[in-house]
Amino acid sequence: MYAVIKTGGRQAKVQEGDVLQVERMRASGDVSFEPVLIAADDGTVITDRTALAKMLVKGKVLGEVRGKKVDVFHYRNKSGYRKSAGHRQTYTNVEITEIPGAAKKAAAKKPAAKKATTEQKPKAAKPEDAPVEKKPAVKKPAAKKTTQGEDE
């Protein structure tokens, strides 16, 4: 089962056991991601807002890391204005521990899938003596020949 969550102004597709790097969360221990946008399990996608409002994706904070340094340089031509700065974003590593509803729906979907495969209709036999119709070939008209360099 996977879910699409929204955190830090971004969306992320997560599964149980994934380690996700999100913008800094001032939290420790267990966290939950409430705005679940989409959830799916064995080909069934859940987009109903009332069902998604009850879901909470749970995770565990692993720690904080700092991203790459971004150099900022401001410059104005012919005025001697130069200004430089730098920035490093802090991220929080979160491991997704639980997506509720995964175990219940997975157990319900497996037997239904087996029934569908056993009830297949036999294919209709194609008569071998039936004539095969061929479409007539369509000829394209020949392109007009022009000579270069002739003036009219």
User: In this predicted structure, what is the pLDDT of residue 122?
Assistant: 57
Highest mean pLDDT among 29-43, 48-62, 69-83, 102-116: 69-83
Residue 48 structure tokens: 């109903």
Does 16 score more than 50 pLDDT?
Answer: yes
Reported as a single tens digit per residue, the pLDDT across 75-102 is 999 999 999 999 999 999 999 999 886 4
C-alpha 117/C-alpha 113 separation (Å) is 7
C-alpha 106/C-alpha 98 separation (Å) is 14
Portion of the chain with pLDDT greater than 90, in percent: 43
Using a cut of 0.75, tell me whether the model's pTM lies above it. no
Residue 93 structure tokens: 């590593």
